Structure 1
Amino acid sequence: MTTFVDRVELHVAAGNGGHGCASVHREKFKPLGGPDGGNGGEGGSVILTVDSQITTLLEYHHSPKRKATNGKPGAGGNRTGADGQDLVLAVPDGTVVLDRKGNVLADLVGHGTSFVAAAGGRGGLGNAALASARRKAPGFALLGEPGEARDIVMELKSVADVALVGYPSAGKSSLISVLSAAKPKIADYPFTTLIPNLGVVTAGSTVYTIADVPGLIPGASQGKGLGLEFLRHVERCEVLVHVLDCATLEPGRDPLTDLETIEEELAQYGGLEDRPRLVALNKVDVPDGQDIADLTRASLEERGYRVFEVSALAHKGLRELSFALAQIVAEARAAKPVEESTRIVLRPKAVDDAGFTITEEDGAYRIRGVKPERWVRQTDFSNDEAVGYLADRLARLGVEQELWKVGAHEGDTVVIGPDDDAVVFDWEPTMASGAEMLGRRGEDHRFETQRPAVDRRRERQRGRDAAEEEFRAFEALSSGRQAIEGDDEDY
């Protein structure tokens, strides 16, 4: 049964924003008291947060699809819909988030570090929020924006100061068990260690972490054995320790050959050339182990390595090795620049940034931009007034003027948005805004019923008087008894 997973593919989907409400306030003696539709709630986001108690991505291996809740729609009486609940996913310290193409989206190091993997959709505005001096009674509301959905890859890279590397059964697990309180599995057969083990070591005033990386063999950087699966766990380490077996009985193997093989695999993996190296000649307590260490030590020192003769079983040389590692770790920490707890990043808008772009593609003009694409997603195309409102917004943004500049003509195809989620229409240029094509902005004939009864009676009487006057004029014209002033212009 799988107990450790350090790489998973995860599909995350944020919640959709709730739709705005188009409502009219009604009460006794006020059958049409004005718009009172509330806004929709915000959709929940999917957030990755580092939890120091989590050590594996196993949970997401079994459940690779995660979705936050949707926002609730608005309601009449200026009632705003409830926001969707954020989905917080706990991940281990050292998790790297990538997209499907391998681009790094976030590197999560440190307890509490978080990253919004999928942002929730905005809630749509209700008609109460859309009302203005020119638009007193909007008969529409904005739709909620769909939540973001994406496929991500999460890779775990252990956050350790020291990495023990070497052949299988070189004694790495034994070393970490005596240097720290870690209790890895130890046995006398290769590939006993199937997962990286972490331990905490205290040497004087320095406390550091040490990782036991599963055994490497020739071809590990190309995927042979377990090396490729766990080489990523040495990337964050400050120092590498070559654990060389001085008591191996395998033909063709000796400490120098093992060192050269492991170094070649590390070089092919890449990115570890600047890490300091130490060499631990292990198992010097067994017969011939000390003799092999004595023969090998001079050659290793000539190559520039600091060499330590150790024995995990006899606890020989462990103190010297531990304090040497502590010194290197302390120096590496001191050399790192101090990061400020709060970093403010300013990204000013470019002077010539119009907020959108127009490109010609296969005879069509494609409009891309955050605002135009969001406005399209929020528009209810079954409502003519909502479509007119969209036309107004696009015109104010300068889309129509820019279409003229790029050479668009009436009837040309215009596309707003990406290929998989685009709105296509034939362009009909107009000097007036879209809402004016549908009717005068700010007028609503439903409000006619709210005028005082006296005014309504006077208007009906004026209508009857005008009809009677027209009838008398028609009779006079047909009998020839009088002429109507200006009748040639009116008829």
Structure 2
Amino acid sequence: MTTFVDRVELHVVAGNGGHGCASVHREKFKPLGGPDGGDGGRGGSVTLVVDSGVTTLLEYHHRPHRKAGNGKPGAGGNRTGAHGEDLVLPVPDGTVVLTPDGEVLADLVGEGTAFVAGQGGRGGLGNAALASPRRKAPGFALLGEPGEERDIVLELKTVADVALVGFPSAGKSSLISVLSAARPKIADYPFTTLVPNLGVVTAGETVYTVADVPGLIPGASEGKGLGLDFLRHVERCSVLVHVLDCATLESDRDPLSDLDTIEEELARYGGLDDRPRLVVLNKTDIPDGQELADLVRPELAARGLPAFEVSAVSRKGLRELSFALAEQVGRARAARPAETPTRIVITPRAVNETGFTVRPEGEGFFRVRGEKPERWVRQTDFTNEEAVGYLADRLNRLGVETELLRAGAREGDGVAIGGDDDAVVFDFEPSVSGGAEMLGRRGEDHRMNQLRPAVQRRRDREARRRDGADREFEEFSPFD
């Protein structure tokens, strides 16, 4: 059964925003209460957060589809809908977020680092928020926006100071088990280690982490063996340690050829040329192993590679190795650039920037793209003529009609707002100014218009009653 997963494809769906409410206040003896529809709630977002207690992406391997909560619709009485519940997904330290095409979206390193993988949709405005001096009683509300939906790829790259690399059965797992408190699986057959193991080593005042990378073979950079699945775990390490088997039983292998093969695979993988190298001549507790270590040491010195003769069984040379690694890690940490505080750069909008584009596509067809026009289209209820007229007014105020005329659009040409998948297409009619001629006097509630004659009649009766009482008082005054 799989217990370690370092690459998954995740499908995230943010919550939809709740629809706004179109409502008119009703109360006894108050027929003209006015609009009181509340706004819809915001949809929940999907956020990835680094959690030090998580070490694998196994949970998302079994459940690759994740969805946040939807916002609730608004209600009468100016009641705003509840916001959708945000979905927080914990991921291991060192998780890289990519698109299916390989584009890096975020590199999550450090406890608490967060990335919003799916943004929740905005809630629609109710008719109370849409009221204005010219539109006193809107008979419509805006729809909530759909939440962001997309596929992402999560890749885990181990965050460690030192990486142990070498052929299968070179003794990397045994070495990390004696250097630290890690307890990896150890056996006398190749590819015993199928997942990276991490161990914490203390050498004097320096504390650093060591990663045992599963065994590499020729062609690993092309995906052979465990290949690319675990070569990426070497990327974040500051120091590379070649663990060479000095007691191998294979006649076609020796420490130097193993070193050359692994270096060739690292070079093909790329991006690791600047990392300092150390060489560990392992299994020197065996007589043949010690003889082979003595033979290759001069060649390693000629290449400028520090070499340490160690034995995981007898603990030979481990102290010297741990302090040498601590020194290299200290240098690497000191060479890192100092962290600078994050600065927020505010870029003002250009004076002539419209916020949208108009592009001709073929004969008699134009496409409008832009954040505002596309968002307004998503929020419009096209079954409500008043809402469509409100959209036309907004587009005209933004200058869409002017830009269409400048681009050469004529009456009857097709105009699409949005992309190919979710565009709204209509015929261009420049003579209609914001739909005013089509819809007449928008913003007036006909139900309220029907109430006005009854209200006036009641007021007339009250006036006549007061007038009759005044005449009766004059006729029967005791002061005559």
Normalization by structure 2: what TM-score? 0.93
* Structure 1 counterpart of 2:370: 369
* Structure 1 counterpart of 2:80: 80
In the TM superposition, what is the alpha-carbon distance from 1:359 to its structure 2 partner?
1.0
* Structure 2 counterpart of 1:182: 182
Alpha carbons of structure 1 residues 41 and 95: separation in structure 2 relative to 1, 3 Å: same
In the TM superposition, what is the alpha-carbon distance from 1:67 to its structure 2 partner?
0.4
For residue 43 of structure 1, give the secondary structure of its aligned residue in structure 2.
coil
- Greater shift, 78-87 or 422-431, is seen at 422-431
* Structure 1 counterpart of 2:28: 28
Amino acid at match of 2:331: E
* Structure 1 counterpart of 2:399: 398
Does 2:261 correspond to 1:261?
yes
For the Cα contact (< 8 Å) 2:139–2:444, is it kept in 1?
A: no
In the TM superposition, what is the alpha-carbon distance from 1:351 to its structure 2 partner?
3.9
* Structure 1 counterpart of 2:478: none
Deviations 1:223-270 (A, max 9, x none): 111122100000000010000000001011000000000001011111
Deviations 1:113-135 (A, max 9, x none): 11000000000000000000111
Does 2:189 correspond to 1:203?
no
In the TM superposition, what is the alpha-carbon distance from 1:100 to its structure 2 partner?
1.2
Question: How far apart, in 1, do the equivalents of 2:345 and 2:211 lie?
Answer: 35
Question: How far apart, in 2, do the equivalents of 1:259 and 1:374 lie?
Answer: 58
In the TM superposition, what is the alpha-carbon distance from 1:442 to its structure 2 partner?
4.7
* Structure 2 counterpart of 1:327: 327
Alpha carbons of structure 1 residues 124 and 47: separation in structure 2 relative to 1, 3 Å: same
For residue 366 of structure 2, give the secondary structure of its aligned residue in structure 1.
strand
Question: How far apart, in 2, do the equivalents of 1:211 and 1:352 lie?
Answer: 55
* Structure 1 counterpart of 2:379: 378
For residue 263 of structure 1, give the secondary structure of its aligned residue in structure 2.
helix
For the Cα contact (< 8 Å) 1:389–1:435, is it kept in 2?
A: no
> What are the equivalent positions in structure 2 for 1:280-319 lying under 5 Å apart?
280-319=280-319
Gaps of 5+ in 2: 462-480
In the TM superposition, what is the alpha-carbon distance from 1:360 to its structure 2 partner?
1.3
* Structure 1 counterpart of 2:219: 219
Amino acid at match of 1:426: D
For the Cα contact (< 8 Å) 2:44–2:85, is it kept in 1?
A: yes
In the TM superposition, what is the alpha-carbon distance from 1:20 to its structure 2 partner?
0.2
In the TM superposition, what is the alpha-carbon distance from 1:439 to its structure 2 partner?
1.5
Question: How far apart, in 1, do the equivalents of 2:316 and 2:347 lie?
Answer: 57
* Structure 1 counterpart of 2:467: none
* Structure 2 counterpart of 1:135: 135
Cα RMSD after superposing both structures = 1.5
Identity of aligned residues (%): 77
In the TM superposition, what is the alpha-carbon distance from 1:165 to its structure 2 partner?
0.1
For the Cα contact (< 8 Å) 2:386–2:442, is it kept in 1?
A: no
For the Cα contact (< 8 Å) 2:127–2:138, is it kept in 1?
A: yes
For residue 11 of structure 2, give the secondary structure of its aligned residue in structure 1.
strand
For the Cα contact (< 8 Å) 2:242–2:278, is it kept in 1?
A: yes
Amino acid at match of 2:456: A
Question: How far apart, in 1, do the equivalents of 2:265 and 2:117 lie?
Answer: 34
* Structure 2 counterpart of 1:94: 94
For residue 421 of structure 2, give the secondary structure of its aligned residue in structure 1.
helix
Question: How far apart, in 2, do the equivalents of 1:290 and 1:337 lie?
Answer: 41
In the TM superposition, what is the alpha-carbon distance from 1:456 to its structure 2 partner?
7.8
Alpha carbons of structure 1 residues 99 and 90: separation in structure 2 relative to 1, 3 Å: same
Question: How far apart, in 2, do the equivalents of 1:423 and 1:52 lie?
Answer: 46
In the TM superposition, what is the alpha-carbon distance from 1:33 to its structure 2 partner?
0.6
In the TM superposition, what is the alpha-carbon distance from 1:347 to its structure 2 partner?
3.7
Amino acid at match of 1:67: K
Amino acid at match of 2:410: H
- Greater shift, 52-61 or 312-321, is seen at 312-321
In the TM superposition, what is the alpha-carbon distance from 1:343 to its structure 2 partner?
3.7
For the Cα contact (< 8 Å) 1:221–1:265, is it kept in 2?
A: yes
In the TM superposition, what is the alpha-carbon distance from 1:440 to its structure 2 partner?
2.3
- Greater shift, 48-57 or 342-351, is seen at 342-351
* Structure 1 counterpart of 2:147: 147
Amino acid at match of 1:100: P
Question: How far apart, in 2, do the equivalents of 1:341 and 1:210 lie?
Answer: 29
Deviations 1:288-339 (A, max 9, x none): 1111111101101111111111111111111111111111111111121222
Deviations 1:24-59 (A, max 9, x none): 000001123100000000000000011101010000
For residue 142 of structure 2, give the secondary structure of its aligned residue in structure 1.
coil
In the TM superposition, what is the alpha-carbon distance from 1:350 to its structure 2 partner?
3.6
Question: How far apart, in 1, do the equivalents of 2:436 and 2:55 lie?
Answer: 58
Amino acid at match of 1:218: P
Question: How far apart, in 2, do the equivalents of 1:347 and 1:65 lie?
Answer: 37
- Greater shift, 377-386 or 308-317, is seen at 308-317
- Greater shift, 89-98 or 306-315, is seen at 306-315
Alpha carbons of structure 1 residues 325 and 213: separation in structure 2 relative to 1, 3 Å: same
In the TM superposition, what is the alpha-carbon distance from 1:353 to its structure 2 partner?
2.2
In the TM superposition, what is the alpha-carbon distance from 1:341 to its structure 2 partner?
5.0
For the Cα contact (< 8 Å) 2:39–2:125, is it kept in 1?
A: yes
Question: How far apart, in 2, do the equivalents of 1:262 and 1:350 lie?
Answer: 54
For residue 224 of structure 1, give the secondary structure of its aligned residue in structure 2.
coil
How many residue pairs match? The answer is 458
Question: How far apart, in 2, do the equivalents of 1:350 and 1:288 lie?
Answer: 75
Does 2:238 correspond to 1:235?
no
For the Cα contact (< 8 Å) 1:133–1:442, is it kept in 2?
A: no
